Structure 1
Amino acid sequence: MVCSSQLKTVILQAGNIQKVTQGLVQFANFKRSLGTISVASYSSDRIFPSIKGMMVDTSAAASRGLTTNSSSENDDDCGYASGGWKSEDGKLSCGYSSFRGKRASMEDFYDVKTCKINGQAVCLFGIFDGHGGSRAAEYLKDNLFKNLMKHPDFLTKTRLAISETYQQTDSDFLESGKETFRDDGSTASTAVLVGNSLYVANVGDSRTVLSKAGKAIPLSEDHKPNRSDERKRIENAGGVVMWAGTWRVGGVLAMSRAFGNRMLKQFVVAEPEIQEQELDEEFELLVLASDGLWDVVPNEDAVSLALLEDEPELAARKLIETAFSRGSADNITCIVVRFYHKLASKLQPQPQPQIQSETEMELQDQAQTEPETNSKPQITTDPETTIKPQITEEPETKTKSET
């Protein structure tokens, strides 16, 4: 006879085994799909099936001369989606991949958009990792960049526009669900490229890392409750940070900033931390990912693995495969952006330094200031050496020594 507690344990173990088995089957299918990507599909005149075609925004932003490309999820039966895109001018390309992994449901979302606002090219990339449900992450995917591009100061005061848009979108989301009892939330890690200026904004524990000359440079810092400044902010607001398997706000939430989370909103804010970076030819690629990747793949590993692949979609898939094989039990979503710098110094041949002509000019100056007897070059006539004219470097010093 099996007691009820033992029976419960057996049932739970069986359920866990089933989830792991499903995850392994998904991963096997995922690995097989890696070989199906054709490099030719990255032709510059082709948009991937999972990227919607060019469309004109009919909203208020369209009156400012905005057009946009937008990505959409194309999840299949194996629980993953991927795709890629290359800019028309060839300056950058991106690839993305999203994998449900061992989780029973998918709470990660991503967004990739390109647009022109008043003739200025803009690219936007975002990772949104939901918790307690997928509603908040999906809401961000549908609304965050749309709201940002409508901001009147988006091009002139980009940092301010990002900060205000993040917090306003959070308020809008909470308002949209005020009649429900749901209390889900989401992270957001976004990169906005305006010309050569890169703005990375972060709320939560998704992360963005930049590769410069092969080195990993984190452009966001995870919002964890035990971060000293975050803990102080929460406690000053009347909250508490406690250990419950990991450090949690109120013993509930394992991050200190997030969209949504109505019950903890006084302590868990959606104000982003923003870093700005001016890109140059040393910056190679950008990796944005949910914590399903960063929990098991350090920044340096992510950059090194991404640099091994020429195409960013292959790099994104490689990172997800690595995270899963290293034991990630979470949803895993990743965007890789590659930069192709074509600076003026590389596009146009630059004149060679006029070293010889400058030397001749110096000699001419010397000839004008020194006595005529010392201005003539001396020729060596040693029969054992090849007869070549040699310019005496210090004719004045030699003349003094001879006298």
Structure 2
Amino acid sequence: MVLFPSLLDGLAGTVSIKKGRNSRKDAGREAAEALAKDARKNELMLSSSGIVKSNKSSNFASVCSKRGQKGINQDSLVVWEEFGCQEDMIFCGIFDGHGPWGHFVSKRVRESVPSSLLCKWQETLSLTSLGMDFEMDLDRNLHQFDIWKQSYLKTYAAIDHELKQHPEIDSFCSGSTALTIIKQGEHLVITNVGDSRAVLATTDDDGCLVPLQLTIDFKPNLPEEAERITRSNGRVFCLRDEPGVFRVWMPNGKTPGLALSRAFGDHCVKDFGLISEPDVTQRNITSRDQFVILATDGVWDVISNQEAVQVVFSTPDREKSAKRLVECAVRAWKNKKRGIAMDDISAICLFFHPSPSQKAAPLTISKQADMIKTF
């Protein structure tokens, strides 16, 4: 049973009465922003390093972000437990800015996505028949997923348009990635723009903990991405001093040299193949699934999926899991990237189940190579 629509309708109605000149759309957004404000007040929303734990769910999130050596930290993140006042729902998002205004863009996207998504979700729900009888759980899950997917597509298109028109943020040559996860009961919705990555820790048939990559790193040299860019008269190539680092360029080959094929902002190349359209996937959580890691490329540039899962799993105190992963990435940058300025490093570790008791059968870490799987 979905309770959120009636709640938002009520809040929107209250706002409309108080401010009769506002349209229903504006009222809905104000209502969603009011929910976000209330979540922050009740310590159910976090946008900096720390932890988020609700007494009404088994979710537990550990969050950490560390500035690199390139200036201001352009990473932003958010965790919202009881998302939209739903006890069984949590929203996690991580955003990696780039360019001169990258930190402003990533923060703006972080602030806009959750509340805007709630509004679009409400609108999409109102256009569907919630009284439908589903004979199979699969039909119900597909219906719920389709609502989320359509809501995300509308939300991201609107936010990117707002960024282009924003009077105080210059997103012409600056932008941000966006990786988010919504956990609704035992259902995950994963949405990705850019090269931040989500990795799930699950157990195989032998009881070993293995990583499953839930997202695609959207780089310009991926066949489908490169085809779209070149079809739009954009160019994809590496610089001589950066072998293997493919970038998106304008037809003249001079700017901006973006190492992503999807991003918010960067409107100088939006006509040449760069898009902000998210890849939206889903997964049903099983008893085998233990936790998911969301991290910016500052982690994945130096730590493998397998190593990241092992670091988080082996941390005795879940509260320190994200911090330990970030610290391991910092050390890896010093060892593997000598002479290169360290990138900003941010991670969210979302645990699905309560801490295992001492009597539970211990899990082991699989030594096999990273497994990559999308859903």
Q: State the 1:153 CA deviation.
A: 4.8
SS in 2 for 1:199: strand
What amino acid is aligned across from residue 333 of structure 1 in structure 2? S
1:315 aligns to 2:321 (yes or no): yes
User: Structure 1's 293 and 226: CA in aligned 2 closer, same or farther, altered over 3 A?
Assistant: same
Answer yes or no: is the 8 Å Cα contact 1:224–1:255 preserved in 2. Answer: yes
Determine the C-alpha separation between the residues in 2 that align with 1:325 and 1:179.
34
- Aligned partner of 2:247 in structure 1 is 248
1:220 equivalent to 2:215? Answer yes
Residue of structure 1 in register with 2:28 after alignment: 60
Matching of residue 231 in structure 1 with residue 226 in structure 2: yes
Alignment of 1:108-257 (within 5 A): 108-115=75-82, 117=84, 119=86, 121-132=88-99, 133-151=102-120, 152-153=122-123, 156=144, 157-177=147-167, 180=170, 182-213=172-203, 214-244=209-239, 245=242, 246-250=245-249, 252-257=257-262
1:265 paired with 2:264, answer no
Counterpart residue number, 1:102: 69
Distance 1:170 1:207 in 2: 21
Give the 3-state SS of the residue equivalent to 1:126 in structure 2. strand
Structure 1 residues 153 and 330, CA gap change in structure 2 (3 angstroms)? same
Aligned-pair CA distance for 1:154? 6.0
How far apart, CA to CA, are the structure 2 residues paired with 1:116 and 1:181?
A: 29
1:335 aligns with 2:348: yes
Letter in 2 for 1:256: S
Shift of 1:180: 4.8
> Do the aligned residues in 1 keep the contact of 2:193 with 2:218 (CA within 8 Å)?
yes
Distance 1:67 1:310 in 2: 34
Which residue pairs with 2:291 in the alignment? 285
Cα distance, 1:254–1:182 mapped onto 2, change above 3 Å: same
| SS at structure 1 position matched to 2:93 | strand
CA distance in 1, matches of 2:214, 2:198: 6
- Where does the alignment leave 5 or more consecutive residues of structure 1 unmatched? 1-55, 75-81, 343-403
Greater relative contact order, per chain length (Cα 8 Å cut-off, separation 6+): 2
1:313/1:173 Cα in 2 relative to 1: closer, same or farther (>3 Å)? farther
- State the Cα distance separating 1:149 from its structure 2 match: 1.0
Amino acid of the residue matched to residue 305 of structure 2?
A: N
2:46 touches 2:80 (CA, 8 Å); kept in 1? no
Secondary structure in structure 2 of the residue aligned to 1:95:
strand
Identical columns (%): 28
SS in 2 for 1:134: helix
The answer to whether 1:325 aligns with 2:320 is no
Partners of 2:179 and 2:197 within 8 A in 1: yes
Cα distance in 2 between the residues matched to 1:154 and 1:193:
19
In 2, distance between residues paired with 1:72 and 1:177?
27
Q: Does the 8 Å contact 1:128/1:290 carry over to 2?
A: yes
Q: State the shift of 1:288 in Å.
A: 0.3
Shift of the 147–311 alpha-carbon distance from structure 1 to 2, 3 Å rule, reads farther
The CA deviation string for residues 180-224 of structure 1, in whole angstroms up to 9 with x for no partner, is 585210001110112221011111111111111111111101010
In 2 relative to 1, CA 171–310 (structure 1 residues): closer, same or farther, beyond 3 Å? farther
User: Based on CA coordinates, which of the two structures has the bigger radius of gyration?
Assistant: 1
Q: Deviations along 1:44-82, whole A, 9 cap, x unmatched?
A: xxxxxxxxxxxx997626869x945344545xxxxxxx2
Residue 136 of structure 1 contacts residue 185 of structure 1 at CA under 8 Å; is this kept in 2?
Answer: yes
Partner of 2:51: 84
Task: Provide the rounded CA distance (Å) in 2 between the counterparts of 1:262 and 1:119.
Answer: 36
Call closer, same or farther: CA 1:63–1:226 in 2, change over 3 Å: closer
Distance between the aligned counterparts of 1:202 and 1:194, measured in 2?
17
The secondary structure found in structure 2 opposite 1:330 is coil
Quote the Cα distance in structure 1 between the aligned partners of 2:199 and 2:61. Answer: 14
Q: 1:119 to 1:144 in 2, by over 3 A?
A: closer
TM-score in terms of structure 1 length = 0.64
In 2: Cα distance, 1:274 partner to 1:108 partner = 21
Aligned equivalents of 1:334, 1:279: Cα separation in 2:
21
5+ residue gaps, structure 2, are 1-10, 16-26, 126-143, 204-208, 356-375
Q: Conserved in 2, the CA contact under 8 Å of 1:280 and 1:341?
A: no
Task: State the aligned residue count.
Answer: 280
Q: Give the C-alpha shift of residue 287 in structure 1.
A: 0.3
CA shift, 1:284, in A, is: 0.3
CA shift for structure 1 position 274? 1.3
Q: Secondary structure at the match of 1:220?
A: coil
Quote the offset at 1:301 in angstroms.
0.7
Indicate how the Cα distance of structure 1 residues 247 and 311 shifts in structure 2: closer, same or farther if over 3 A, else same.
same
Counterparts of 1:204 and 1:112 in 2: how far apart (Å)? Answer: 19
Given the superposition, is the C-alpha separation of residues 124 and 118 from structure 1 closer, same or farther in structure 2, using an over 3 Å criterion? closer
Q: Distance in 1 between matches of 2:171 and 2:76?
A: 22
